[in-house]
Amino acid sequence: MSRLFEDAGKTKGRKWQCFVCGKNHTDYEEYREHIVTEHAEGREYICCPAEGCGAPVRDLKVHYRAKHPNRPLPQGIQHRVAIWRDFKSDGSKKKTKKPKFRQGTFTSKKNGRDFIYRSGMEEEFFNLLEQDRDVAGYHAEPFKVPYFWQGKWHDYIPDLRIDYIDGSTEVWEVKPADQTHYEQNRAKWAAMTDHAHNMGWDFIVQTEVGLGKLRTKIKRQQVLTD
């Protein structure tokens, strides 16, 4: 068992502050339960994969150096959260520099409207879909699908719905490969798979592999035209 769990039960009078929302807790297990049930894994916290630990953290490298110095840092998984916040002891926000992420507005001529992209991967997919001659149109964050996780119902919004000129439809989630193993993501995607099946659509989780395949497809289309 990690020192984090051992220390959690023995420290009297200590407050455990949620690094996502700033809420204070006097009990470690209550603090851990709060993060895991109220916040988004990968985006706002990462659970330590070390056996006997499972602590919610925002930086695995820092956590491993402090709590598991003799264990190798696991590779092929996300090491740092996407959203980073800092709070004072009273729960109010500190004036700190937040990490910059590639977000902005993409103007789609194919759809005649603007879309918000929330990562560099999403922006590149928009660019490629704009060029794909098999795509009649596409829509960002098109609808909500309910899913059940950690004893509660939540809403999942997929990243894209793509309508092809042959009449078929696909729904995509754009996600780095190192974030595809999270249980909450799997619960979302299971619900979306069922919904897509009922609609006669296909649901695809697009990672860096899918992005590379789409790049290759667009290049082939361009060669055939030249």
What pLDDT is recorded for position 93? 76
With cut-offs at 50, 70 and 90, classify the pLDDT of residue 179: confident
Can you give the pLDDT at residue 1?
Answer: 35
Number of domains in the chain: 2
Least confident of 54-58, 89-93, 155-159, 209-213: 89-93
Domain end, chosen from 72, 100, 128, is at 100
Q: What mean pLDDT is reported for the chain?
A: 87
Is the model's pLDDT at 31 over the cut of 70?
A: yes
Residues 117 and 162 reside in one and the same domain: yes
83 and 158 co-located in one domain: no
> What value does the mean pLDDT take over residues 53-77?
90
Per the structure, the complete domain to which residue 151 belongs is given by 104-225
pTM of the model: 0.68
Q: Is the pLDDT of residue 147 over 50?
A: yes
Q: How confident is the model at residue 83 (pLDDT cuts 50, 70, 90)?
A: confident
91 and 118 share a domain? no
Domain boundary among 100, 118, 141: 100
Clarify whether residues 217 and 125 are in a common domain.
Answer: yes
Mean pLDDT confidence for 198-226: 93
Least confident of 98-107, 182-191, 206-215: 98-107
- Looking at the fold, whether 45 and 74 belong to one and the same domain comes out as yes
Residue 100 has pLDDT above 70, yes or no: no
State whether 142 and 87 are in the same domain: no
Same domain, 201 and 122: yes
| pLDDT at site 138 | 97
Q: Quote the CA–CA distance of 174 and 182 in Å, as a whole number.
A: 14
pLDDT of amino acid 76: 80
- Percent of the chain topping pLDDT 70: 90
Say whether both 21 and 61 belong to one domain: yes
108 and 165 part of one domain? yes
Phi/psi for 117 (5° steps) reads: -105, 145
Instruction: Give the long-range contacts of residues 124-130, CB within 8 A, separation 24 or more.
Output: 124/211, 125/160, 125/172, 125/174, 125/206, 125/211, 125/214, 128/211, 128/214, 128/215, 128/218, 129/160, 129/162, 129/214
What's the token pair of residue 144? 């909500």
Q: pLDDT above 90 covers what percent of the chain?
A: 51
Residue 109 has pLDDT above 80, yes or no: yes
pLDDT band at 2 (very low <50, low <70, confident <90, very high): very low
Domain boundary pick from 100, 115, 143: 100
Residues 145 and 198 in one domain: yes
- Classify residue 69 as left (phi > 0), alpha (psi -120 to 50) or beta: alpha
What is the domain-level CATH number for residue 184?
3.40.1350.10
Looking at the structure, tell me whether residues 83 and 135 fall in a common domain: no
Across residues 179-188, what is the average pLDDT? 90
The pLDDT of residue 9:
46
* Residues 85 and 109 placed together within one structural domain of the fold: no
